Structure 1
Amino acid sequence: MIHELSISHQVLMIEEVEHELLPQFYNLADIFVFPTVMKTEGFGIVALESMACGTPVIASRIGGIPEVVREDQTGFLFEPGNFQELSEKINVLLADDAMRANLGRAGRELVESEYTWTVVAQKTLDIYRAAIMNYRFGR
């Protein structure tokens, strides 16, 4: 499709990247598109990785992704399989440098405040503590 549309000079298709090189690729991108249609998509760690690098995300509104990619705050969401909506959102972001910068900055701030390993570990400990307290006191 890329060749049919004569956009090969604008699109970089990569099969596999070593994990430690991912930030370099996210930083090269103007936007990160995550068009999954998997109803079992739990969370979408790739969206967080992109946001941690300050790259705005356009992702499917499915599974746990909307908890991470917040519409008009850290990126855009579209209905799975609705490629018209996806293309419109891509065009909006590509046309607006300031919006891309703002969404990218907000995404990075969200990752730093809510999704660092320290924060996630603390939230997990809090859940276990609450479960233990409920068990001990029969709540």
Structure 2
Amino acid sequence: AGDGYMKPYLQAIAPNDERILFLGEVDEQRKIKLYQESKVFVLPSLGGESFGVVLLESFASGTPVVASRVGGIPEIVDNGVNGLLVRPGDARELASAIKLLLDDEELWIRLSYNARKKAEEKYSIRNIGRMYEETYTEAVEKNSAQN
């Protein structure tokens, strides 16, 4: 799902297989449904990821993640707890991690539960709001102390 500069390339290299769909841009309701229907969310980034909101969306849906160990991803995904982290660019390790989650129902259940739990406990709107409020309060206090 989604559009981007890589879409034509991905379409060109994708095998002609009815299981591979390029949905283009989807609305929020469809996106939520896609997360919920997915067994695994895969983010095989090679670099440049600071804070992947898509990871939190996946977690909120109870969908475990397989992602590259780059940028800020390891700060969100706890390897073996709510997802699996792999070396960037290592296609074999990526495929093995995806296969492991698809084959091991017990592991999938545990990671799914922990993903949802982390989304609720750490990244709920209430907690994010509190973090913003604390940051703004700290900035105001520092500014007042300097003047």
The alignment's C-alpha RMSD in Å is 1.8
Give TM-score scaled by structure 1 length. 0.86
| Aligned pair partner of 2:34 in 4, 12, 25 | 25
2-side partners of 1:14 and 1:69: how far apart?
26
Instruction: Compute the displacement of 1:14 (Å).
Output: 2.8
> Separation in 2 of the partners of 1:102 and 1:18?
29
Secondary structure at the counterpart of residue 33 of structure 1: strand
TM-score for the superposition, normalised by structure 2: 0.81
Distance 1:43 1:33 in 2: 15
Q: 2: CA distance between counterparts of 1:130 and 1:3?
A: 53
CA shift at 1:11, angstroms? 4.3
Could you tell me which runs of 5 or more consecutive residues in structure 1 were left unpaired when the two chains were aligned: none
Shift of 1:94: 1.0
Q: Deviations over 1:79-126 (max 9, x none)?
A: 211111111111111110111111011000100011112211111111
Secondary structure, in 3 states, of the residue corresponding to 1:67?
Answer: helix
Letter in 2 for 1:21: R
Aligned length: 134
- Superposed displacement of residue 29, structure 1: 1.0
Q: Residue by residue, what CA displacement relative to the aligned partner does 1:31-51 show, whole Å, maximum 9, x if unpaired?
A: 110111232x11111111011
SS of the counterpart of 1:17?
coil
Query: Quick one: structure 1 residues 80 and 91, their matched pair in 2 at CA, closer, same or farther if it must change by over 3 Å?
Result: same
